[in-house]
């Protein structure tokens, strides 16, 4: 026998199948490819993520590790076979509990949980964790998954049918949830046309190098099945992209020099079998390595800057100054200083970048996972030399994003192949490729001093941070500008000087990652607040409340605030703080090896672009058939925009949520709702949806000549307007419709009122801020340096909780990422390009989370709502650091706080004593 | 173009050995090491798929040994009725990757892969395990400690197949415990790990100790001098003192992404002390923290 494909017969989801496959092919590839069952997801091809879990004769296995021949004669069950087309009790429970966010890990979790429930119908939490410990989720923080599995066989309560005007503040099942639990959601690597060319990217193996290609045509001719090879020479447009136009500096394919390991230099396209057999080692390219540096202080001495016009490799300097911080600190009663170093952090979404491009007449259509369809469209058009109108971006579901899917990745590459060959072109990054080639959280090296009067009022603060932005600009300018605005924390700071710079290295490109540098800065600021409280002899929570910003206070940018909820968050934590500290004192009284610690930290975060316009537009209409069509272009990457924006629009319009049908996102069908970034969609697109809903309502009312007091209802294709005893019925089918079938339509735009910042960072950088505070209780093993979070209590001011269940999901997921950043996540360039050396939290690493939603309405937000997506991650890591110090006295100043670092810090304290 | 590689799925050990005698093959059993090592490269080796060799599944007893068939998965081992001396091995089985990995990965595969951080190795070393290697020339037995030669290096010859792991009944006595130190709860590669097996005398003192440490040297190691020092002591403060006095200089920990050499040196002393206590007074075991 050989590896040549041969028939393999087995039972698949209850049906007998026979498939031609190479005997040692991965079963996952066979299920997804020839068998067409794409519910089984591929996240790592290494057994590290569990997304491809299937049942073989009832036992759960990673299909990526199973030779296809192994299936012969066996029963294989995939997510598609869990419910026979219906919705199983477990799937319904996932929906009900909000256990699926982006949905990419959901099939694997459902399959693994099914194996558990077959043995143990009423599992406890420990059994659930043991059974699901092999499936990684990056969105949910696992708590709702645990609840969904434990309660899978409980009696389901029907989701209440929400009346008109009752959507905001309720938690309806997410509108896009069913496909996620059925495994039918289409992600970037799903639904590729059978005739698509496969594409592979040739990437640089050096951190810095010049290169020259050999005879590419001869190489291609020697490789049957390879249809084409493309290099920078084939790019018809401007071979530079970047999320901020003024800094666009990254080539889609490098021309003659690469600035980081993993940079794309060439594309190989051809028949899937031939491309699968492609070995980059044989590709004709000669490398001439150049000196390189991976950190700002390790750049080659006397080297030219990586980019012309950026002396000393400084991309951008950011700064905010108010008052005389030096003098205020010198004159204050108490001052504390510190420094903190953080690591590259990888987004580690379970879905690597993937998509397919094809030509629809003259139009290039790209269906790929993304957070920013309109930006993808503009940038891809520029690189490929096409007018914007000839590029259409159809976002697939995104299996997690967290900031990294804002930047272009594969769009210009598959676009180039489709454009040049006229054939569909498909590509899914491998896990290693995704990790090497796409953006990271900026490593930061920061110092700060904070001073206070004897009564604990902050007198002044100095902050300075250097952020390693890697080889290309990406979002480096945003980080350099956002950090100085936020580094004070949500506290009155009358004298302040904060500087930050983004500096190039040959490291991976650092870009957007949930918080844009603010999480790093907050770790330093909030740990110094604890040191300050100790120096003052003031309770750590009380110090924070004493200085918390209040309505009418000015920020360090001179912006006077309204709707400030930080003190309400801190106040809500007070009873938990008292209880936790008492419990810790009791536990620690006998001097145990494992000590309990309690920590607290706050956050604030401006929603939307920093001091720049960032409008969103929403279109909504009523069709002749009586459906309400919401053209919703805000990409839902799991956070819930599809549901939240619809809830807002429904209540603004005055029709029930159930009447709404979502359209898009699709650049051909939906107006630009901006990028899913900067915690802006609920606020900005939500506000546009509120305006559009109200505008549509007014249009209808005016047409029917009734007052704003009228109640709307849909009765099939009839719109019913009731005002007191009067009832007006509009037969929609009898009214003129536009080209898309809409009888009434409204489109509205909202752009938050901000101003540019002056040279001292003074101005109005954001229209809305959100606030939060988290309390972490944890145990530290003082002899091993291991840290086990025990409980997190999170109070977040969301202004108005449009959807409390989704808000909780954001909070729990952000906390999980905060735990990862604090305790285990360290991307070491070139060494951790997989999910077993790069660790993210598993289901056993996230403790119970108690969420307290605070609602201090914001005057700008829709129904008073504020953003939440990034805020939730910010307080977790500093609260963990503060709890470790509370437990042991040890201050960890290099992140993550691995067991080795925690033990070293504990020993350093011992040496001092 | 290169030739299409061979794929064979023998149904008898004799057939497998004949194939092994005829060229170089990559042996495929659970697949939990073979596939991850590929990355996005195609499987271009000649593959000898062992998954029809039913004779290599399961756990049996011979006159002198408990015989673990080479294809026995970690899940099968967990389900087996084994004496308390195997508790460390059972605890290690629960720490191999995830349930998905435990359902596929085999005991023999873990040994043949020869990772310094192989979870199965310290418990098997503490059980004085031997491996049974078959070829057409015959069968030989090697102590596990001799089979493992270095990081990813074994004594397995190209024409040999590991057919069983044998634990002498003489070593299947006493109680054992396993501790694994990692930076997260599941799916984690050990920073350090230890298996300890103790037999106690009538007075509750340690008669014999078998202590093996993994992930702190290229190959997991027994700590023979510490074992001697523990004899005659009781598990607790008394055994702690012996551990504290031991230099651990037989280990050679390295700095890597999981921890520093200094940290490993400090932590291994602690987890060895804890594992000895646990084996002396078994309670919950498994994770070090």
Cis bond before residue A665 (omega within 30° of 0)? yes
A510/A67 Cα distance (integer angstroms): 38
Chain B residue numbers touching A205 (CB-CB < 8 A): none
Which are the contacts of A804, defined by CB distance < 8 A and separation ≥ 6?
A169, A171, A853
User: Which residue of chain B has the CA closest to A4?
Assistant: B4
Query: Which one-letter DSSP state was computed for residue A475?
Result: T
- Residue in B36, B288, B289 nearest the CB of A47: B36
Taking contacts as CB-CB distances below 8 angstroms, the residues of chain A near B181 are 784, 786, 899
Task: Name the band, by pLDDT with cuts 50, 70 and 90, for residue A912.
Answer: low
Per-residue pLDDT of A664-687, as tens digits, reads 999 999 999 999 999 999 999 999
Residue of B100, B103, B257 lying closest to A831 (CB–CB):
B257
Domain range summary for chain B, segments of one domain joined by +:
7-49, 54-170, 175-283
Chain A within 8 Å of B267 (Cβ-Cβ)?
yes
Is residue A531 a contact partner of residue A338, using CB atoms and an 8 Å limit?
Answer: yes
Q: Pick from B4, B184, B216, B270 the residue to mutate for testing the A interface (most A CBs within 10 Å).
A: B184
Q: Could you tell me which CATH class the domain B175-283 is placed in? A: alpha beta
Interfacial A residues in 541-570 facing B (CB < 8 Å): none
Find the CB nearest B49 among A47, A60, A69. A69
A84: left (phi over 0), alpha (psi -120 to 50) or beta: left
Among the listed ranges A26-30, A504-508, A863-867, B282-286, which one has the minimum average pLDDT value?
Answer: B282-286
For residue A441, give both structure tokens. Answer: 């959280």
- Looking at the partner chain, which of A1, A48, A823 has a beta carbon nearest the beta carbon of B6? A1
Cβ–Cβ below 8 Å for B188 and A839: yes
Residue A896 preceded by cis peptide, ω within 30? yes
Q: Is the pLDDT of residue A587 over 70?
A: yes
For the segment A40-86, what is each residue's pLDDT rounded down to a tens digit?
Answer: 999 999 999 999 999 999 999 999 999 999 999 999 999 999 987 78
3-state secondary structure of A135: coil
pLDDT for residue A156: 55
Say if CB A493 and CB A528 are below 8 A apart: no
User: The complex's ipTM?
Assistant: 0.96
Residues in chain A closer than 8 A to B185 (CB atoms): 129, 133, 842-845
State yes or no: pLDDT of B289 exceeds 50.
no
Q: What is the DSSP string of A478-524?
A: HHHHHHHHHTT-SB--SSEEEEEEEEE-SSPPB---SSTTHHHHHHH
CB A26 to CB B75 under 8 A?
Answer: no
Q: How far apart are the first and last CA of chain A?
A: 70
* Rounded-to-integer distance, Cα A271 and Cα A254, Å: 25
**Measuring CA to CA, which residue among A543, A491, A551 is closest to residue A522?**
A491
User: Hey, is the C-beta of A1 within 8 angstroms of any chain B C-beta?
Assistant: yes
Phi-psi region of A545 (alpha: psi -120 to 50; beta: other; left: phi over 0): alpha
Chain B residues closer than 8 Å to A276 by CB: 42
At residue B285, the pLDDT reads 46
B284 touches chain A (CB under 8 A): no
Widest CA span of chain A, in angstroms? 86
Kindly provide the b/e burial profile for residues B234-250, where b requires at least 16 CB atoms within 10 angstroms of the residue's own CB.
Answer: bbeeebbebbeebebee
How many C-beta atoms surround the C-beta of residue B52 within 10 A? 18
B54-170 carries CATH number 3.30.465.10: yes
B127-171 pLDDT per residue, tens: 999 999 999 999 999 999 999 999 999 999 999 999 999 999 999
Closest CA of chain A from B202, distance in Å: 31
| % of chain A residues with pLDDT over 90 | 96
A550 φ, ψ (degrees, to nearest 5):
-130, 165
CA distances from A110 to A95, A230, A295, B96 (A): 12, 41, 42, 22
Could you tell me which residues are beta bridge partners of residue A284? none
Q: Of B100, B257, B259, which to mutate for an interface test with A (greatest number of A Cβ within 10 Å)? A: B100
The answer on pLDDT for A654 being more than 50 is yes
Residues composing chain B: 289
The total number of residues written for chain A in this structure = 913
Asked if A45 and B49 come within 8 Å (Cβ–Cβ), the reply is no
**Residue A233 pLDDT > 60:** yes
B101 contacts in chain A (CB < 8 Å)? 47, 62, 65, 134
Nearest Cα residue in chain B from A838:
B257
Q: How far is B201 from chain A (nearest CA, A)?
A: 30
List domains and CATH numbers for chain A.
Answer: 1-163 (3.10.20.30), 197-290+350-400+404-437 (3.30.365.10), 440-609+759-912 (3.30.365.10), 616-750 (3.30.365.10)
Touching check for B9 and chain A: CB below 8 Å?
yes
Residues 784-843 of A with CB under 8 A from B: 784-786, 788, 823-824, 826, 828, 831-832, 834, 836-837, 839, 841-843
First to last CA, chain B: 53
> Scanning the structure block, which residue is given the tokens 């805000």?
A634
- A50 chain-B contacts, CB cut-off 8 A: 98, 100
Instruction: Measure the CA–CA gap between A850 and B159, rounded to whole angstroms.
Output: 59
Pairwise CB contact (< 8 Å): B185 & A839 = no
**Which residue in chain B is spatially nearest to A429 when comparing CA positions?**
B40
Nearest in space to A508 (alpha carbons), one of A440, A423, A406:
A440
Question: How far, in Å, CA of A716 to CA of A16, rounded?
Answer: 43
What pLDDT shows up at residue B3?
A: 72
In chain A, residues with a C-beta closer than 8 Å to the C-beta of B266 are 903
Interface of A with B in 191-250 (CB under 8 A): 224
Give me the pLDDT at residue A153, please. Answer: 83
DSSP state letters, A23-86: TTSBHHHHHHTTT--TTS--S-SSSSS-TTEEEETTEEEEGGGSBGGGGTTSEEE-GGGTTTTS
**Strand B59-61 versus strand A458-470 pairing type:** unpaired
- The yes-or-no answer to whether B54-170 and B175-283 have a common fold is no
Backbone angles phi, psi at B140, to 5 degrees: -130, 155
pLDDT of residue A155: 67
> Does pLDDT of A158 surpass 80?
no
Over residues A156-174, the mean pLDDT reads: 80
What one-character DSSP code corresponds to residue B3?
A: P
Give the C-alpha separation, A430 to B197, whole Å: 43
């Amino acid at each position: 026998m050989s590896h040549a494909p041969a028939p393999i017969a087995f039972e698949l989801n209850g049906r007998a199948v026979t498939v031609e496959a190479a005997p040692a092919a991965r079963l996952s590839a066979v299920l997804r490819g020839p068998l067409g069952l794409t519910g089984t997801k591929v996240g790592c091809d290494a057994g590290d993520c569990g997304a491809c879990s299937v049942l073989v004769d009832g036992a759960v296995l990673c299909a990526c590790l199973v030779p296809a021949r192994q299936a012969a004669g066996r029963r294989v069950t995939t997510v598609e076979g869990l419910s026979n087309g219906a919705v199983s009790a477990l799937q319904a429970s996932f929906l009900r509990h909000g256990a699926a966010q982006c949905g990419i890990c959901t099939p694997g979790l459902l399959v693994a949980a099914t194996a558990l429930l077959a043995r143990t119908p009423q599992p406890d939490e420990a059994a659930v964790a043991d059974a699901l410990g092999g499936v990684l989720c990056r969105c949910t923080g696992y708590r709702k998954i645990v609840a969904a599995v434990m309660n899978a066989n409980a009696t389901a309560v029907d989701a209440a049918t929400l009346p008109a005007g009752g959507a905001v503040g309720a938690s309806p099942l997410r509108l896009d949830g069913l496909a996620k639990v059925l495994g039918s959601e289409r992600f970037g690597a799903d639904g590729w046309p059978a005739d698509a060319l496969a594409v592979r990217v040739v990437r640089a193996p050096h951190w810095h190098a010049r290169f020259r290609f050999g005879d590419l045509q001869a190489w291609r001719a020697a490789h049957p099945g390879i249809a084409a090879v493309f290099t920078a020479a084939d790019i018809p447009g401007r071979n530079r992209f970047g999320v901020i136009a003024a800094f666009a500096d990254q080539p889609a394919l490098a021309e003659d020099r690469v600035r980081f390991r993993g940079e794309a230099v060439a594309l190989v396209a051809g028949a899937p079998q031939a491309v699968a057999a492609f070995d980059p080692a044989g590709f004709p390219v000669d490398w001439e390595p150049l000196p390189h540096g991976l950190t700002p202080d390790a750049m080659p001495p006397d080297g030219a800057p990586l980019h012309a016009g950026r002396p000393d490799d400084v991309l951008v300097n950011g700064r905010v100054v108010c008052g005389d911080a030096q003098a205020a600190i010198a004159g204050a009663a108490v001052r504390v200083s510190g420094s903190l170093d953080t690591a590259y952090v990888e987004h580690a979404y379970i879905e690597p970048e993937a998509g397919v491009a094809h030509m629809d007449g003259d139009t290039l259509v790209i269906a790929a996972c993304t957070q920013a369809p309109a930006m993808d469209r503009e940038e891809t058009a520029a690189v490929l030399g096409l007018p914007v109108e000839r590029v259409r971006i159809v976002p697939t579901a995104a299996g997690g994003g967290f900031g990294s899917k804002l930047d272009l990745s594969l769009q210009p590459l598959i676009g180039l192949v489709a454009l040049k060959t006229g054939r569909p072109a498909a590509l899914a990054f491998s896990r290693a490729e995704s990790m090497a080639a796409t953006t990271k959280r900026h490593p930061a090296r920061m110092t700060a001093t904070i001073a206070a009067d004897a009564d604990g009022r902050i007198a002044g603060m100095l902050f300075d941070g250097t952020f390693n932005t890697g080889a290309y600009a990406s979002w480096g300018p945003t980080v350099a500008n956002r950090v100085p605005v936020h580094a004070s924390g949500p506290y009155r700071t009358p004298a302040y000087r904060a500087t930050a710079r983004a500096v190039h290295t040959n490291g991976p490109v650092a870009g957007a990652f949930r918080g844009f540098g603010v999480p790093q800065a907050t770790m330093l600021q909030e740990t110094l607040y604890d040191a300050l409280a100790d120096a003052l002899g003031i309770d750590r929570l009380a110090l924070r409340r004493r200085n918390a910003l209040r309505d009418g206070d000015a920020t360090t940018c001179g912006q006077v605030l309204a709707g400030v909820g930080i003190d309400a968050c801190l106040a809500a934590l007070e009873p938990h703080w008292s209880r936790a500290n008492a419990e810790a004192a009791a536990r620690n009284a006998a001097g145990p090896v494992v000590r309990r610690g309690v920590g607290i930290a706050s956050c604030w975060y401006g929603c939307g672009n920093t001091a720049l316009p960032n409008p969103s537009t929403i279109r909504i209409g009523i069709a002749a058939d009586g459906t309400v069509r919401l053209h919703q272009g805000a990409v839902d990457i799991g956070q819930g925009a599809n549901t939240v924006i619809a809830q807002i629009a429904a209540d603004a319009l005055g029709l029930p949520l159930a009447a709404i049908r979502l359209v898009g996102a699709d650049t051909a069908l939906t107006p630009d709702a901006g990028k899913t970034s900067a915690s802006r969609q609920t606020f900005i697109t939500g506000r546009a949806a509120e305006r559009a809903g109200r505008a549509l309502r007014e249009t209808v009312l005016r047409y029917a000549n009734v007052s704003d007091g009228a109640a709307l209802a849909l009765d099939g294709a009839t719109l019913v307007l009731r005002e007191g005893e009067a009832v007006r019925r509009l037969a929609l089918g009898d009214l003129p419709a536009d080209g898309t079938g809409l009888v009434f339509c409204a489109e509205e735009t909202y752009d938050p009122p901000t101003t540019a910042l002056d040279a001292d960072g003074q101005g109005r950088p954001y229209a809305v801020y959100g606030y939060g505070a988290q309390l972490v209780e944890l145990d530290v093993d003082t002899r091993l340096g291991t840290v086990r979070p025990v409980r997190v209590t999170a109070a977040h001011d969301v202004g108005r909780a449009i959807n409390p269940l989704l808000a909780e999901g954001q909070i729990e997921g952000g906390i999980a990422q905060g735990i990862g950043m604090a305790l285990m996540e360290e991307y070491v360039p070139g060494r951790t390009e997989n999910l077993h050396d790069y660790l993210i939290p598993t289901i056993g690493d996230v403790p119970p989370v108690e969420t307290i939603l605070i609602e201090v309405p914001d005057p700008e937000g829709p129904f008073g709502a504020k953003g939440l997506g990034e805020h939730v991650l910010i307080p977790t890591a500093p609260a963990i650091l503060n709890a470790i110090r509370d437990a042991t006295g040890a201050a960890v100043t290099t992140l993550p706080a691995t067991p080795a670092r925690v033990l070293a810090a504990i020993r350093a304290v011992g040496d001092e004593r | 173009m290169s030739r299409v590689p061979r794929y064979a799925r023998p149904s008898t050990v004799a057939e497998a050995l004949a194939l092994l005698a005829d060229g170089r093959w990559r042996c495929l059993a659970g697949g939990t090491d073979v596939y991850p090592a590929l990355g996005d490269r195609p499987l271009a080796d000649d593959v000898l798929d062992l998954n029809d060799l039913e004779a290599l599944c399961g756990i049996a007893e011979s006159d002198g040994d408990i015989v673990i068939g080479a294809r026995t998965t970690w899940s099968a081992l967990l389900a087996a009725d084994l004496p308390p001396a195997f508790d460390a091995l059972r605890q290690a089985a629960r720490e191999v990757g995830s349930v998905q990995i435990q359902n596929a990965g085999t005991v023999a595969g873990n040994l043949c892969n020869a990772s310094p951080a192989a979870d199965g190795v310290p418990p098997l070393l503490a059980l004085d395990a031997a491996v049974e290697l078959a070829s057409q020339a015959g069968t030989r037995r090697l102590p596990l400690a001799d089979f493992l030669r270095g990081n990813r290096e074994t004594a397995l010859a190209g024409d040999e197949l590991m057919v069983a792991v044998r634990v002498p009944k003489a070593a299947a006595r006493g109680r054992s415990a396993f501790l694994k130190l990692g930076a997260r709860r599941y799916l984690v590669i050990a920073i350090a790990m230890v298996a300890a097996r103790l037999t106690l005398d009538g007075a509750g003192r340690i008669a014999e100790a078998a202590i093996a440490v993994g992930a702190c040297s290229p190959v997991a190691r027994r700590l023979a001098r510490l074992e001697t020092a523990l004899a005659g002591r009781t598990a607790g403060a008394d055994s702690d003192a012996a551990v504290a006095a031991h230099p651990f200089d037989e280990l050679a920990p390295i700095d890597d992404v999981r921890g520093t050499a200094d940290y490993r040196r400090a932590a291994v002393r602690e987890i060895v002390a804890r594992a000895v206590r646990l084996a002396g007074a078994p309670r919950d075991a498994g994770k070090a923290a």
